[in-house]
Structure 1
Amino acid sequence: MAAKSWYYAVLAGFRKLRHHVDDKVESLESLMSFGMGSAPHDGGTVSHLMCGNSTNARSCPERGLNICPHCRLIKYCSEKCKTQHWPKHRSACTHPYLSDHWQPSWVTEGRDPAFLYPSNLVTLFRPTIDFWGDLPAMDCLQLPSNEGNNLEPLPDLKLCFAASGDLRNLIRTVNSLPWDYTGSGPSIEEAAELAVHLMYSAALPAASAEYLNRCINFIYASGGEFEADLSFRRCLDTRGEGKVYSVQPSAGLKRPLEMFHSNYTLAAALQSMKDTTLAPDRLDFREKYFAGLKPAHRMAFQRFRESGILAPFSLNTSNFTQPNRLLFSSQGTWMVPEDANALFGWDVGVQNSGVKHGTSPEDILGCLFFHAKDELREFARRVKELRIDIHLTSFEPAILAKGITVGALPAFEDASFDRILTSNLVDSVGLRACLADWGPLLNRENQYACILMQTKAWHTRQPYTDWGPHAMKVLEQKCNQVPGLDVKMKTVFAQGHRSPALFRIVESLEAFHDNESAFQDYLSDQNTEESAAAFDLQLRSTHRVHPKRFGIPLNAPRWQKLPDLSSNEFYDLFTIGGANLPVRFLEFESVGTTD
């Protein structure tokens, strides 16, 4: 769950019957210690929003009930606690980011923003960073639209996440299964909270850091016992019926150990983080994103950039005393890109999860903390109750596919997957190569089986589909010619190429542009129909797993080509959710399968 640097693929098989494993099963649970939560001093878990009155010495243990009316980012149990905490809270509560009238520095200073310099234009209009994911996690089974719509009992299902950088899609898929599971011990609660910090936080409590160190040593410092066993018979207990199997190429074993045997301090690590997250020469880039946010959300993101800890805004993090070595190099250098955004990997349910645990929608990253924790906890419950086997490898996708095909990995000698997710491999290797690798591994006995692809780069290869910076001048000229343009819009265009609102408009144009014709030209250039037919596959005309583009429901009528969203829905999905507007999704199925 922690870092993605040393694995590329996750292979998961859902089984109804337990396999017999002759080798001794070793359990990570035997290493589990307690007191690994986020609560200061006692290491308890944070299951609800606590009172924001805290110092390094103590924190009020009561629930936060009464919200600060100005910032709406912090709650207190009483007026007394609010008054006591005001000297500490004042700087955040009166920060300029919380003003409705805040403007980016380039506007107030009357200069051109740095991202308009020629060398930065690609970064401005085509961000490529996806360290924490830049697409919301998805359910890749969608059983109600597929196998679940039959009266037959559900079959055993095998899934292949062929180019996965993390486990979010696997988690979302497992949590979307139609069966209800109940009951969880405290270790699930603590494990879920630890996993949230392992994924997103720059620092950890001491007990969590020690537990992580023991896990890394257990997996990687045993003389490479997982390395040579391509049969996947060495495994880790998952507390339930399933197992986690792992095979690691020798080249991948050194790096995790090097990361954990380094001696940099927390202070040095956090300084390296801030050199990236608060870099002065990237201020315009940060404020460009902030300009599209609601005031409280700006402040929440600023706090995360300063602290590096994903937690409710009011949480006392004084017990986070150890660097999270999964997010730093062995020299203590922060490895997360400046524009990586933890919120971009989850769906709009984030705010609902936060409210359920007592936080406010304004504390958007506090909401994300509770949402990710809920997802991880539910995943742990289901892994405990359901037979789920997970196989992790570090092989490049093409090598992995060939290895499975020729039988080099005996655990997959009968590999015929019901879903194969290839992420955006099509952008790097081409559509035909992608189908050649994974088409032979699709389960042809399952009429719902499919290969899912996504392309982020298709529009850069087609003429007249790129809303680059030149569009700003064209848009400005056209709109100024419209009679009766309201005062607000005239103000926007009066700022010209320095207008934050104009940048948001240009970046949103793709959502209101029917690019279906251009996308069909791209598919034609890729020889999609012929390439698919060469492997007895066909492109689905009606999707069953994921909509063809963001903002359109899966069950939308065929004539709907554009998102139909309210302003709040648009903000949740594209602004704070980060759904990439130009991304298009493809689903391939066996020839002869009908919609």
Structure 2
Amino acid sequence: MAFSSNVGPAVESVNMWGNMPAIDLLNLLQKEGTLDDDMAIAFIASGDMRDVVRTVNELPLEYTGELTILINDRNHIVLSRNLALLLLLGTLEDKRRAADIAAHFWYSAFVPELYHTQLQLVMRKALEFIPHHTGDVTCTLTPTSRVEGCIGQVAASYLGLCSIISTAYDANDALNELSRARLVETSEDGLHRQYWPLESSHRLAYHEFRKYGLLLPFGAANAHFDHPNRLLFSLDGKWMQPDRVNPLNGWHIPSVIKTGKKHGALPMDIYGCLYFYVTDQLREFAERLTKLRITFKMFGMDASKLALELKSGRLETHGIPANFRFDRIDVSNLMDTHYLGVRPVIQSWGPLLKKTEHATLVGHFINWVLGHPKAVPGHHDIARIKKKCEEENLGPAVPPESSRNVHDAHLERSAIFFTSAYHVLYDSSGPFQEYLSNHNIHTALRKTGLKLKRHHDLVPHRLEGSFKVPSAVPSFRDARSWYQNVTTSDHTWSERYIELTWA
């Protein structure tokens, strides 16, 4: 089989790991309360697979309906990776082994040679049913699950080349490239600022992962991880992600640490905890693919074009007629002004919601603070927040009878802590509503017949915030909880979610 080598230039800034914690997009029992209705959900700018995994894993095993999951991403590399992971998890019989293989192809820079061979076998078999000149997909995962759609010619060729090219670069080349991208050309000051608030064990863990890129418990045997992960390095051996990406940002870190403890990993070994958490999630997901009726519809289009294709009926050949509608639509951060914007997304995708009381469109905003001066706290807010932290002992405490050096170090650490705290404990709900108004959300809602939910059902209004009260700030039970949620992540804590439903 011949594959086109015209898959575009090597890209070194593709985000292949999510930067917001995974969510359950259905929350089925709390919403519909039914276990036999067919459901359809859409991830129109899917990024990685974490939200799909969490949503499927939270479904009751008693669910008897058929679940249709649309997975779209216009980036052919992201889309190819997602298909590869689905095929590994669905087609390999040993689900424990499948979860381990998928976890490493998701997050590890290097994999065992045996795992690379396994990926080649799976992909070559699948590509027999994916015409590379069209990119149409029709693959059976399990007796109850399948993949359909069109990933496009570029993505199909990219997968084909990944599965056959093994000599363009070796492990030493890849390790040198990883060092260049993650250490040599990274701001040393930026690294110090990231590491400084962390506990010493976590500084070591973060640096080891940045240096070697292996998602393993600390001290685990790794000599056999000697093959570059062809799903994280480009065809010509370039590391394809920004230097600051961190897989921890895509999951709820307290849950990660809790799962790690069940497997005997200490909280200090935070990437070991993540390994156990991710493999548990993937194993559960793989097993559910054999028990639940799930059809994945995969596409590689611009989100606006995809909406037009759906409405026109041109996707009927892929089993999606023009009258097809979704129970949930996740638009990711496409409503940010950096991407499509509020009004275009709502007007394109709002009409594709089912006309039911529970149908919901979910989106989040990361960069909105850059366009609104009130999005960050003022001097009065800063004084109040600092006082609150001191009263509740949330900040780092000075050890008793500390030396001058330790005391000075504490002051520096406290300064970094309070810089984060100002954003975490600032009520940004008012400025956020102004931001939405300034970007014509009310016009878009009027035209589509949708409304903003004040009480959310799927995600809090902001990270660790309230489902019901938009103005509620994140709440942490103690300093340890603060550290696990805030300090170990790269979230700005200004991110906000919205949910839309029919008026």
1:412 aligned to 2:294?
Answer: no
Give runs of aligned pairs for residues 100-179 of structure 1, distance below 5 A. Answer: 130-148=15-33, 153-179=35-61
Match of 1:531 among 444, 456, 460: 444
Q: Distance in 2 between matches of 1:503 and 1:228?
A: 49
Match of 1:305 in 2: 210
Conservation of the 8 A alpha-carbon contact between 1:135 and 1:346 = yes
Q: Distance in 2 between matches of 1:242 and 1:487?
A: 53
Q: Distance in 2 between matches of 1:147 and 1:511?
A: 33
Match of 2:485 in 1: 573
1:253 aligned to 2:138?
Answer: no
Q: Distance in 2 between matches of 1:395 and 1:439?
A: 18
Match of 2:334 among 407, 421, 425: 425
Conservation of the 8 A alpha-carbon contact between 2:197 and 2:416 = no
Long gaps (5+) in structure 2: 1-6, 8-12, 64-89, 391-395
Larger Rg: 1
Task: Give the secondary structure class of the aligned counterpart of 1:209.
Answer: helix
Give runs of aligned pairs for residues 193-208 of structure 1, distance below 5 A. Answer: 193-208=100-115
Counterpart residue identity of residue 352, structure 1: K
Q: Distance in 2 between matches of 1:173 and 1:352?
A: 20
Task: Give the secondary structure class of the aligned counterpart of 1:549.
Answer: coil
1:562 aligned to 2:473?
Answer: yes
Task: Give the secondary structure class of the aligned counterpart of 2:373.
Answer: coil
Q: By how many angstroms is 1:389 displaced?
A: 0.8
Instruction: Choose 185-194 or 371-380, whichever is displaced more.
Output: 185-194
Task: Give the secondary structure class of the aligned counterpart of 2:375.
Answer: coil
Report the identity percentage: 29
Conservation of the 8 A alpha-carbon contact between 1:277 and 1:338 = yes
Give runs of aligned pairs for residues 579-590 of structure 1, distance below 5 A. Answer: 579-590=491-502
1:361 aligned to 2:267?
Answer: yes
Q: Distance in 2 between matches of 1:155 and 1:568?
A: 42
Q: Distance in 1 between matches of 2:413 and 2:16?
A: 26
Q: By how many angstroms is 1:569 displaced?
A: 2.0
Conservation of the 8 A alpha-carbon contact between 1:529 and 1:539 = no
Q: Distance in 1 between matches of 2:37 and 2:295?
A: 15
Match of 1:216 among 113, 123, 134: 123
Q: Distance in 2 between matches of 1:359 and 1:395?
A: 41
Task: Give the secondary structure class of the aligned counterpart of 1:429.
Answer: coil
Match of 1:376 among 282, 301, 325: 282
Seen in structure 2, the aligned counterparts of structure 1 residues 495 and 463 have a Cα distance that, compared at 3 Å, is farther
Counterpart residue identity of residue 328, structure 2: R
Q: By how many angstroms is 1:307 displaced?
A: 1.9
Q: Distance in 2 between matches of 1:588 and 1:572?
A: 31
Conservation of the 8 A alpha-carbon contact between 1:203 and 1:321 = yes
Conservation of the 8 A alpha-carbon contact between 2:22 and 2:54 = yes
Conservation of the 8 A alpha-carbon contact between 2:330 and 2:362 = yes
Q: Distance in 2 between matches of 1:154 and 1:223?
A: 32
Match of 1:457 in 2: 367
Q: By how many angstroms is 1:542 displaced?
A: 1.0
Q: By how many angstroms is 1:129 displaced?
A: 8.4
Match of 1:239 among 125, 128, 142: 142
Task: Give the secondary structure class of the aligned counterpart of 2:374.
Answer: coil
Counterpart residue identity of residue 455, structure 2: T
Q: By how many angstroms is 1:216 displaced?
A: 3.2
Q: By how many angstroms is 1:246 displaced?
A: 3.7
1:556-594 Cα offsets, whole Å, 9 max, x none, are 5x3752112122222222222444411111111012xxx
Match of 1:547 among 460, 480, 488: 460
Conservation of the 8 A alpha-carbon contact between 2:428 and 2:471 = no
TM-score when scaled to structure 1?
0.69
Seen in structure 2, the aligned counterparts of structure 1 residues 303 and 211 have a Cα distance that, compared at 3 Å, is same
- Over the residues paired in the alignment, what is the CA RMSD in angstroms? 3.2
1:482-508 Cα offsets, whole Å, 9 max, x none, are 9xxx9959x99x979x93431332133
Match of 2:350 in 1: 439
Seen in structure 2, the aligned counterparts of structure 1 residues 131 and 201 have a Cα distance that, compared at 3 Å, is same
Q: Distance in 1 between matches of 2:457 and 2:112?
A: 43
Counterpart residue identity of residue 418, structure 1: D
1:393 aligned to 2:285?
Answer: no
Task: Give the secondary structure class of the aligned counterpart of 1:236.
Answer: strand
Conservation of the 8 A alpha-carbon contact between 1:131 and 1:337 = no
Q: By how many angstroms is 1:281 displaced?
A: 4.9
